[in-house]
Amino acid sequence: MINKRGFASDNNSGVHPEIMKAMIDANEGHTIAYGDDAYTERAKQKLYDHFGDDIDIYFVFIGTAANVLGLNAATSSWNSVICAETSHINVDECGAPEKFNGFKLLSVETPDGKLSVELIQKHMHGFGFEHHSQPKVISITQATELGTVYTVDEIKALSDFAHQNNMYVHMDGARIANAAVKLGLGFKEFTKDVGVDILSFGGTKNGMMYGEAILFLNKDLGENFKYVRKQGMQLASKMRFISAQFERYLSDDLWYRNAKHSNKMAQLLADQIKEIPQIKITQEVDANGVFAIVPSREIIEELKMEYFFYDWDESKNEVRWMTSFDTQEEDIHKFVDLIKKKLTT
């Protein structure tokens, strides 16, 4: 049976053929384990080319691990991490950040998944008071879980504020490529150059099979991290298969081509949905997600039987449609036709 492309998640897509080939090519002979290999060196060099040499890089298997372990490097158990209510670390990591690190997450309601200095003020108190957890990190997601993208100025405002308050900035970049395409900027310009200290650099959602990177853009935070990664069970013995993927992903602009296509497909979907008056798009379509309110639960359930996707807020009939590097224009047209048909019958 052929797996049908749907709109559930960019994780539901397969592996880009160039990545698959790179993994097969890496499957030759023996190489030193645990990252002491030429693939890892070359993959790291690709990241240095983007971010500069003065960073520390650690590959891990999954995005949750990148977030949890990256945050570990900047915190003690008595700290707190400020994040959006909708952030992956808050709602989709089964409490792992808090369990593994002992710190407290302080979440903030946002209209669009983005934090701002104004919104986080409610948690900026209790410094030095032993009865309160001590705020130490502001964690933002780029692109956000709501498909929106922070501008450079928005990130800089948060970083400046964090640093003025002796705090750090962590960025969950599971979809950083989609954000880079939207902003029309290189990765460094909206991360390191504007004060992001720790970056979870994603690859899986944009064509890789698995593998994420933790980048200490503030290199001091990477000290002793090799022990943290090992204790966190994320030191891959056959590291070459993560590294070979990153090497390919960051070559010939594969990351860019994939994310550009994915964003374009979301835009196409949004443009077509906007022509359907019964459906309301609820968020800016900055990256590869479209959030929309559909008039009835019956229609949502019927659509899901043919194209799988997730509810976002069931109480409002709000759904999330994600596009991927392999979404085809034809998928969008057929899906939109189906929506129109369901709305008229």
Ligand X SMILES: Cc1ncc(COP(=O)(O)O)c(C=O)c1O
Residues that bind ligand X (CB under 6 A): 11, 62-64, 88, 141, 145, 172, 174, 204
Rg for the chain, CA atoms, rounded: 20
Q: How far apart are CA 216 and CA 223, in angstroms?
A: 9
- Sheet of strand 280-281, all strands in order from the earlier edge strand to the far edge: 280-281, 289-293, 318-322, 310-313
Q: For residues 5 and 88, which CB has a smaller minimum distance to ligand X in the complex? A: 88
Q: For residues 55 and 84, which CB has a smaller minimum distance to ligand X in the complex? A: 84
Q: How far is the CB of 242 from ligand X (least distance, A)?
A: 13
Q: For residues 88 and 229, which CB has a smaller minimum distance to ligand X in the complex? A: 88
Q: How far is the CB of 302 from ligand X (least distance, A)?
A: 26
46 Cβ neighbours under 8 A, 6+ residues apart: 246, 247, 250, 251
The neighbour count for residue 132, using CB atoms within 10 Å, is 14
Q: How far is the CB of 66 from ligand X (least distance, A)?
A: 7
Q: What angle do CA 217, 219, 225 make, to 5 degrees?
A: 105
Asked if 67 contacts 88 with a C-beta cutoff of 8 angstroms, the reply is: yes
| Residue in the shown chain whose Cβ atom is closest to ligand X | 63
Q: For residues 174 and 183, which CB has a smaller minimum distance to ligand X in the complex? A: 174
Q: What is the DSSP letter of 216?
A: E
Q: How far is the CB of 139 from ligand X (least distance, A)?
A: 10
Q: How far is the CB of 275 from ligand X (least distance, A)?
A: 29
Q: For residues 52 and 95, which CB has a smaller minimum distance to ligand X in the complex? A: 95
